[in-house]
Amino acid sequence: MPRSIQSTQPPLKFIPQRLNLLVLQIVRWLLPIALRFRTRPWLPAGIVKIEAKNVEVLAELYQQFQAGKIRFLLAFRHPEVEDPLCMLYLLSRIVPQVARQKGITLQSLVHSYFLYDRGMTVWAGKWLGWLFSLLGGVPVRRGRRLDRQAIQNARELFANGELPIAVAPEGGTNGHSGIVSPLEPGVAQMGFWCVEDLQKANRSETVIVVPIAIQYHYVEPPWSKLDWLLSKLEADSGLKISEIDSGNSEEIYYQRLSRLAEYLITEMEEFYRRFYHQDIPKTISTDESTSANQVLIARLHRLLDKALQVVEQYFGVQGQGNFIDRCRRLEEAGWSYIYRDDLPDINALAPFKRGLADWIAEEADLRMRHMRIVESFVAVTANYIQEQPTAERFAETVLLVFDMLSRIQNTTLPGRPRLGLRQAEITVGEPISVTERFTNSQGDRQASKQAVSDLTKDLQNALEKMIR
């Protein structure tokens, strides 16, 4: 999260992709260090091992791509911020190695163009946009109904670029290795556009989408670090010392986490009742079959809805769609107040008008913080930990709570505490032919929309099966 914005900002300009092979090679050399020490050079608690399954499928696809037989898109899961580093490791090291082992000849660079959220350069800094540009990245404004410049660039690269293209169809991280968020239709639409572009150019390449799953596991279950982090969160929230017996069993951690979650939800409900005048009943309708955990999740979702309503009312945005859809629209609405496309030269404004612009930018930034809190919890479900009470799932959930408290307590979001060394597991799924589905997408607008929906659904199912 960036520092608090207190003044209007220049427009967020499009950053053109300009792949630089020298910069790419340097990043590849530094990749193991970046994976191990990302964001905290003094703390060796990153990713120490990456394993991949079914990689020969990807190696063969690159061989066919380089022979001019196919065009393909890598649709990868995006649970954590480390995912792009893991994808780069997969392409730069694992795929060439497997290709050599299997006797698959690759004639040129194994890499990909990729789409990334333009907002990353807002909180990380301009240097990230410069680096991503040189690595083949194309920035996308996620909340825009139609980011024409990004779409045109991505469409051109998919059909005519020297490399495949990689996209995270979830649109953002959800913090859960074991849950796939609802996919956005962009990947499917790009696939059909690519087939259309190839046919118009009388080209015969087959267009393929490749699902890729990424999951993370701790080398050693970090129960002691989890105990420390839970204790810190309990103290930071003002929760009284727990009377739960000490110990390391999963049930004790679950009780502590549930107790902390209920306390925080109760506090936040009162916060929105009192200061934002939201109608939040102190009870929730249930029946005899409803568990305490289900009640808690229902209260959480009601709270997230109210938090988004606060922002939607301010920006005059209609609350349509799921939480993710609403967050995307609010992000774009907030940016339109801060990064003023209608003010190309903010330094030329009269002091009075500049003061008004700064005022509205600061207030927009404050309102967007409600949305950022909601973003952290869009994938939280009632049974995620109960289904598999592993250290990984406890850690993912506790770290989301840490993010929330950090956003409320600080104007900057500190780096997450490292709970232990981790390893990544990447699974390459079975390729999905878009070309075979293209005929069904022709005709009226409804047929096209249905074809995109069906492909998106099949991709979602493929990703979900690979992480079970």
pLDDT of residue 197: 96
DSSP 347: G
pLDDT of residue 291: 83
pLDDT in tens, 100-154: 999 999 988 999 999 999 988 888 888 999 999 999 999 998 876 678 899 999 9
The H-assigned helical ranges of 250-350 are: 250-276, 292-315, 323-338
Delimit the domains of the chain by residue range.
Answer: 21-219+422-466, 223-409
| pLDDT band, very low/low/confident/very high, at 240 (cuts 50, 70, 90) | confident
pLDDT of residue 407: 86
For 396-454, where are the E strands, in sequence order?
422-428, 432-433
The 10 Å Cβ neighbour count of residue 167 is: 25
Question: Helices 391-409 & 351-375, crossing angle to 10 degrees?
Answer: 160
pLDDT of residue 304: 96
**21 neighbors 381 (Cβ within 8 angstroms):** no
pLDDT of residue 41: 39
What pairs with residue 433 in β-bridges? 208
Fold of 21-219+422-466: Glycerol-3-phosphate (1)-acyltransferase (3.40.1130)
Instruction: Please name which of 311, 306, 304, 410 lies closest in space to residue 365, comparing C-alpha atoms.
Output: 311
If you average pLDDT over residues 211-239, what whole number do you get?
A: 93
Answer whether residue 1 shows pLDDT above 50: no
pLDDT of residue 244: 56
